[in-house]
Amino acid sequence: MLRNTKSRNSWKRQLSPMLLMLLVILGSGGSIPMPSVSAAESYSFVAKWGSHGAGDGQFSSPGGIAVDSSDNVYVADEGNTRVQKLSFTGKFLTKWGNFGTGIQFGPADIAVDSSGNVYVADYHNDRIQKFSSTGELLAEWGSEGSGDGQFAPGPTSVAVDSSNNVYVADTLNNRIQKFSSTGKFLTKWGVGSGGGEQSISAYIAVDSSNNVYVTDLDSHIQKYSSTGEFLAKWGSEGSGDGQLASGHNNIAVDSSDNVYVADRNNNRIQKFSSTGEFLTKWGSEGSSDGQFSQPRGVAVDSSGNVYVADSGNHRIQKFSSTGEFLTKWGEKGSGEGQFATLNGIAVDSSGNVYVADMLNDGIQKFSPTGGD
């Protein structure tokens, strides 16, 4: 049974860019000169799947999206309160969940571990659920509250490290909680806004050393060890170098542990070292190459290229790790290669890009080589 529905829905509306995952941008700084796009840098539309509905392969407000090591695609089909699994070609494979309790949920975020198990932040039921890659329920933990292993009013973001430990943004308890892959409570940290304290958290990312990076609504990024030891904090409210506009700022980490932040209300991307040293920024408000309008998502591929879900401009933009504009695609609409409201974005091992489009109730796939 749901509890505090009015309060939940109010917070959910405020946090919806985060809950719709995926998902995760650029601001008032000077723009970087951008070279023209060459043919070698173009992306091709490969496939589109989904339509509004509750049938297999249909969606209602798809948000969070994740890809496993075999390039299967998992979608948090929020409006239908379920997860759907698709092959990299878009073939429907399986689904699980519906509204309620038991093997039922309101999926807010989704993550996949190295064994292909799927973790779902079940916002409505104050818990994390773990499933096999085929949808078999393996474990669940959590309830409403502020004790160890409890969430208030529900977990909003989930991430998994290389040892398959699970980190959860317990947003309204102002903390991060860490669990084993079976749901055993391991540690927690946060509460407050000082160093090592955590105000309302928004997004989580984990680097190659299992350090944890957290953005909060107070324009900070904090870094912790995997045991919760406070390591660094940077950021303040503003539009200068290293400053962030308050709000839901998404975050991604590359293979060299550089940190990319979607400084959404400043309409820019900022790049930092793993210790918080400001490295570079790019973007400003607008619709030209390298400009943004309220982007919601950021992802990094194995080569360090950065993909931005430029939501207000209804497009994806790709940049090098230094902010050099490489290419873009998309426009407003409901056809192939068109978008209404961009939410989740993910990149697979071959560099294919998957995009969840909430208002068009579909997933689109793009390939740097023209498709499979």
pLDDT digits (tens, 9 = 90+) for 188-233: 998 655 566 666 667 899 999 999 999 888 899 999 999 999 999 9
| pLDDT score of 157 | 87
Q: How confident is the model at residue 37 (pLDDT cuts 50, 70, 90)?
A: very low
Q: Is 355 exposed, middle or buried (0-12, 13-18, 19+ CB in 10 A)?
A: buried
> Which residues touch 273 (CB under 8 Å, ≥6 apart)?
257, 258, 259, 279
Query: Is residue 247 scored above 90 in pLDDT?
Result: no
Query: Is residue 101 scored above 60 in pLDDT?
Result: no
- Dist. CA 347–CA 307, nearest whole Å: 9
Contact 165, 226 (CB under 8 A): yes
Q: Chain-wide mean pLDDT for the chain?
A: 83
- In sequence order, the β-bridge partners of residue 366 are 45, 353
**If we measure between CA atoms, which residue out of 18, 263, 54 comes closest to residue 154?**
18
| pLDDT score of 4 | 40
Query: Is residue 39 scored above 60 in pLDDT?
Result: no
| pLDDT score of 32 | 32
- Dist. CA 16–CA 281, nearest whole Å: 26
